[in-house]
Amino acid sequence: MKDKQPLLKVKNLKTYFFTEDGVVKAVDGVNFDVYPGETLGIVGESGCGKSVTSLSIMRLLDEKGKIVDGEVIFEGKDLLKLSEEEMREIRGNDIAMIFQEPMVALNPVYTVGDQIMEAIILHQKVGKDEARKIAIDMLKKVGIPEPEKRVDEYPHELSGGMRQRAMIAMALSCHPKLLIADEPTTALDVTIQAQILELMKQLQRDLGMAIIMITHDLGVIAEISDRVAVMYAGKIVEYADVKVLFKDPKHPYTWALMNSIPRLDIEQERLFSIPGIVPDALHFPSGCKFHPRCEFATEKCKSEEPELIEVGSNHFAACWNIEKLEAAKDSVRVGENR
Amino acid sequence: MLKDEIKKNTRKFFRNPTAVLGFVLLIFFILIAVFAPLIAPPENPDNPYRIPIATWSLKPQPPSPEHPFGVIGQRDIFYGVVWGTRTAFRIGLIVAGISTIIGIVIGSIAGYFGGWIDEILMRITDIFMALPFLVAAMVLTTILGKGLDKVMIAMIVFGWMATARLIRGNILQVKEEQYVLAAKALGVRDSLIILKHVIPNTIFPVIVQVSMRMGSLVITAAALSFLGLGAEPGYADWGTLLSYSRNWLTEFDKAWFSIVYPGVAMILFVLAWNLVGDALRDIFDPRLRG
Amino acid sequence: MSKEVILEVKNLKKYFPIRAGVFKRIVAWVKAVDDVSFNINKGETLGLVGESGCGKTTVGMTILRLYEPTAGQVLYGNRDFSKLRGKELREMRRKMQIIFQDPYSSLNPRMRIKNIIAEGIITHGIAKGKEAEHMVAELLKKVGLSPDQMNRFPHEFSGGQRQRIGIARALAVNPELIVCDEAVSALDVSIQAQILNLLEDLQKEFNLTYIFISHALNVVKHISDRVAVMYLGKIVEIADKKELFSEPLHPYTKALMSAIPIPNPELKRERIILKGDVPSPINPPTGCRFHPRCPIADLKICSKEEPELREVKPGHFVACHFA
């Protein structure tokens, strides 16, 4: 896969929010690539910058948020240099997005069909009847029963799971090359979440789009991603193929996170817990931003910020003390009793 | 932290020019009310609210060094405007205060207990709201008799409904908050839950409403006075002063001062409270907090 | 673990009326909890798991009388908690406490931490003044916060810290049983582990009994001794944790377990994807409520007869015709 050209290349992206209380460095120098047809998972806790990253790619930030540096290269074009007009042409057509709360993303005064057709008419330049046919077809594709009837219903008439399906149908109606999914299953029940994840995998197989999956749930990441970026405090701290990452995490944060979730598949006596609190974006620590919560932190970590370095094939981590974690892993292995 | 919050809010308050204007105006009126005996010394200290007779002529007299705002209906307008400030505050504070308390009590009982209690109280509120305020107040004052205190009673009786509704709505919202359930689970008595958890979290919109109403209450009282239902003639009240000009409406050039001075006082008074109310709303509304 | 029963819930029902029209006539009932029975032993943790609308939160709220039960009994010791009134009820309340999901809505924003935690202490006359303050300081230490933070207000704390404050408030009245209603669901993963560990430590120290309500099967599995699975107002399966997770018998339990994404990309397992959505509790399906989504339903029986919760193995109860 690596010999292909990346579909999306994010280079040194920096998005800051200028608030009354100070500058929030929500995304502070993020680099990653997305290749055609693959799924990149971005995982992190609240305030790590994962959602802001996706909104920056789409250039959908509110007026306080500014992209202060970096490039977002999509099929050779830097999206940050496009005019608003050109960007609109890309949004919904080449890059589509789905959100956590479909009720917010769907307009309550239009029928589901109208909203799907709007994008189709806009981007595919087809007539109304043709657009309606495509819309019904899309609803069928995402597994909505009786699509001919549902196409004329309003968002509130659909259940949560159906709304999420309708939003996916809307996002995919123009066959985007990249789908950005921001916590698409977080608000759903687990049995519905399973349905939606299954649907996304199947649609990816059928339509061949690339997906950026943003979530806090390591389970969802393991389920759907090919590669994973772990974010903490506005930075990517680890970046690897999914199997490598889960088998052999190199950053203390990734490692600790994996040990702190209760698991269904293994027995755990006591959960590993990361001390302290998730840092507030206004007051990120100096040096490595994880150092106050890291059990391997040294003096160096407090003052110098580590860069992402290659620690294995296509495996990057930003940590000064990778050997220390390796040594500790022998005494505590992921998934073993402790 | 409370100090920080106050400091932050004070800073916010004074960064807003209209808030400062309202605040300055309000201070100005308070000073006039407090120092009324010095600004316009009463002839009869036992009954300072009676505007002394300035002349025996029934014709209005334009402003002069002796009577800076002129004379109408034999009374000195300057004296009336100065002491009328006290009357305005009295009407505002008493009517707004008592009707708000009634509204809070009724609204909190209805909102907190809900069910049939809520149903009955809210239907009573609806009935009161359905009556046209000015007509109802006039009928009641006619029954009670003339006088400023009667007008105030009428305004209280027909002035508590908006508060009751507002506080009930807020309580219905706060009641669902988990800290109220937590207090209930701890075995805290209902009355204490209302007092400690519900009221403090619902009261701020009411305070804003009260300050906004202060000004309009004074206008209503003036309207009633103008209609001849309020204070007796000669009483230091802006509405009463205005009502003198009724006889000279066709000859505005001869009595303009009797409308302009009390009128301007009233407009500025209402403006002051509205601006302060606006500023308070900005401060209390957590959605607008930075 | 001693087998002393601390709480017995018998045939608990909670129906919410749906009113409509000018006269607020009752047009339908939401049967949020429909005939639920279970016991809890002293010192154990009973997990109550299910998807939204299954009634798990309502069970917790009704046991604590934050909602009035429609029918049924809640036997605490030898008294029926659901029948107590006035002062007697208020005094009994200290035995059972609750920790809520939302760390933002669960603390009064206008009260200092000190007063939030001391409220129960003062209400029940356990202590007052300096002594109460001393107790608050001790409680704050117990939940991992510093006593010199007691004069602050809730908004100065993070979500996890607020949850600790909520725990201290519940502990303040020396309860025997605590209902944890989605107590860690709103927290970040790294904070969730801290709170779960804290709850376990406190349980050991004070011999607490927990009813742990959550939609997250993995969390319930971690903390519970026994687990009850709810679906549309009913318990469909209840068993010892090990038993339930190694050998789930109800098709819903099986589907729920297979639906949880597991953070192990190399694990290949069979997925049971359920059809459709959770039906509305206003008009639940006839017979077995799960039958429209059930992969093994036999319409002849399942759509007509409602299965009883029966003991198929010692301590393992299932409500399914085919278990």
Helix A190-207 and helix A160-172, axial crossing angle in degrees, nearest 10:
20
Kindly state the tokens that stand for B153. 């009673």
- Within 8 A of A280 by CB-CB distance, chain C residues are 158
Is B14 a residue whose pLDDT tops 80? no
Instruction: Name all chains with 3 or more CB-CB pairs below 8 Å to chain B.
Output: A, C
- Please give the average per-residue pLDDT across A81-91, as a whole number: 90
Beta bridge partners of C5: C41
Closest CA of chain B from C103, distance in Å:
9
The chain A residue lying nearest C196, using CA atoms, is: A271
CA dihedral A277→A278→A283→A285, nearest 10 degrees, is: 80
Is B248 a residue whose pLDDT tops 90? no
- How many B/C residue pairs have CB atoms within 8 Å? 74
Task: Give which of C95, C108, C124 to mutate to test B binding, by max B Cβ within 10 Å.
Answer: C108
Nearest to C102 among B2, B178, B184 (CB): B178
User: What tens digit of pLDDT does each residue of B19-41 get?
Assistant: 889 999 999 999 999 998 888 88
| Partner B contacted by C26 (CB < 8 A) | no
Is A53 a residue whose pLDDT tops 90? yes
| Residue C217 to residue C178: CA distance in whole angstroms | 19
Residues A221/C263, Cβ–Cβ less than 8 Å = yes
Where residue B144 falls among pLDDT bands split at 50, 70, 90? confident
pLDDT for residue A331:
66
- Within 8 A of A19 by CB-CB distance, chain B residues are 290
DSSP letters spanning A167-221: HHHHHHTT--SEEEEESTTTTS-HHHHHHHHHHHHHHHHHH--EEEEEES-HHHH
Nearest to C197 among A191, A257, A273 (CB): A273
Longest Cα–Cα distance of chain C, Å, equals: 69
- Within 8 A of C120 by CB-CB distance, chain B residues are 186-188
| Residue B116 to residue B120: CA distance in whole angstroms | 6
Is A174 a residue whose pLDDT tops 50? yes
Ranges of chain C with pLDDT below 50: 1
What is the value of ipTM here, to two decimals?
A: 0.86
Kindly state the tokens that stand for C269. 């397992």
Where residue B288 falls among pLDDT bands split at 50, 70, 90? very low
Average pLDDT, chain A: 88
DSSP letters spanning B119-173: HHHHHHHHHHHHS-HHHHHHHHHHHH-SSHHHHHHHHHHTSSHHHHHHHHHHHHH
Exposed/middle/buried for C68, CB within 10 Å: 0-12, 13-18, 19+? exposed
Closest CA of chain C from A134, distance in Å:
24
Closest CA of chain B from C241, distance in Å:
29
| Partner A contacted by B11 (CB < 8 A) | no
SS3 C238: strand
The chain B residue lying nearest A21, using CA atoms, is: B290
Is A337 a residue whose pLDDT tops 50? no
pLDDT for residue B285:
62
Q: Do residue C123 and residue B186 have CB atoms under 8 angstroms apart?
A: yes
| Residue C175 to residue A44: CA distance in whole angstroms | 36
| Partner A contacted by C308 (CB < 8 A) | no
Q: Do residue C91 and residue B187 have CB atoms under 8 angstroms apart?
A: yes
Nearest to C156 among B1, B184, B185 (CB): B1
